[in-house]
Structure 1
Amino acid sequence: METAKMDKMRKMQSKEKETRSSEPETAASCGENTALAPERAASLQEKNGAAEKKKGVYGVKIFNYKLVYLLLMVLVMSFAGFVVENLFRLLRDGVINSRRQILPFLFAYGIAVFVMYVAIGTPREMRLFKWSIFKKESKLSSASKYVCYFLVVFAFIFFGEMMFGTFVEWVSGVVLWDYTGIPLRFTKYTSIPTALGLAAGILIFMRFVFEPLMKKFEKMDESTAWIIDLSVGIPIVIDWLVMLILMLGFQFSENWWSITL
């Protein structure tokens, strides 16, 4: 019995020695980890900074939506502008044409919608850039937003058409369009009926189409969206610039094709 007790005592003493001998190693290991902690933190911070930088370049956000998806909207509205102008010309003159450009896109329409979104948002928000015009939400304020939005868009179209058309004619002698024959017109470039119709169309589009369409765009992979933006957008901008240079610099304003129906 005494021999067994002595063996147990020896085993316990040997375990205590092993534990004591391992303590410095553990402490040294902890010290090494503590020394490495700042280096690891710096490395993580550097990686996060690089990620944020990349996000800043490719993930620019303008109010509610990323730029990459807003540019898709510019492309869609550029095509829609081409269709709307030709529908109007078809109903009035029985003719559709290239609208002085090679591609079926009118960049001015796309950029106009982009500028309006940046400046006044949608009818539901009706802001002036980042400042809310209507602070409190009520039935009266909701109705006022729509009225205010419509009036701002109407003024934008009415004066914008008149100034741009007059400027181009003054510089190059080219008459881009002519509202002669339409009642309540002011100069050949603008009229109350056309401005009212376009303002109503934009109000309806920005209220019922813009936001749902943007949500559809947001489901698209960003890389794919950027590829579409660049591969389609760059030719559209080049086509538009060529048209402006030919028109303003060389007084060339012919349609590349025209179909009479």
Structure 2
Amino acid sequence: MLKDHADLIASELSEGTGASVALSIVASGIRSGLDIWFQDLEKRQGPIVELRPHGLKAHRVQLRFGNFSRQILKQISEAPAEDIQLARSLVTSIRVEANVEIPGQSLECWTVDDGRFTIAATLKHETTADGGDAIVATCREVIVPLMAAMAELIGYDEIVPEDTSGELEGALSLALVRKRERNPRNRLLCLRVHGYKCFCCGIKPQLKYGPAGKVLEVHHLQPVSQLHEEKHYDPKTDLVPLCPNCHRAVHTRRPTPYSIEELMSMMDTNVH
């Protein structure tokens, strides 16, 4: 039953979205469902995700807005273009098999225009939908990107970088890079697009270390020295996952880090 996995669901969603979530059980005949929302908002004041069993092997997920979401909707309408782009990219990263539906809008260019906005998806599993593996899959493949998109539009968890003045040239640009690298939604999309392996050496830490393998770091490809002019930012193409060793290695050259190609060339040259 979904209610038996409430703690697991909350943990998966908080890690993926960078914001704390709240859950409540909703009775639905013999099998219960869950309503999920951001913890610092009252349930009716923002986006709500309904998670329901759909037959024996599927989950139905629907995102809608509560009846008193006017302030949040206004906040979303004022979201910067980069945040809107990231939110759309997160939604398009949902597995094709989930059959995402946004009534009246396209998957690639949707807008939260009013409180009637909804996104729905149905994900079918090979085993029963009540199992832990199926629930985790639905969280990671559907609910996390949906709620992460809303978190980005609302503006959750803005990261204040540490003072880097005097450490490197282009400190202001470096701060911007670090903010992007540390944004949990940027990290989420980067890993969903490129896979859970190092873009340089190819290691898959979670396969090697199991639960202790969540160590991949996000690297910004654009050198700091080239970020003084405004640049259209796309986390799908501007970020790559690196293992801690490769990430540390590319930054051993300052102020401009080694490129991925340069580091890979060094690795090939020094293989014994």
TM-score interval for Structure 1 and Structure 2 normalised by the shorter chain: under 0.3
Q: What TM-score results when the alignment is normalised by the length of structure 1? A: 0.25
Mark the structure with the bigger radius of gyration: 1
Higher helix share: 1
Give the number of the structure whose residues are more often strand, by fraction. 2
Which one scores higher on RCO, CA 8 angstroms, separation ≥ 6? 1
The alignment's TM-score, normalised by the length of structure 2, stands at: 0.25
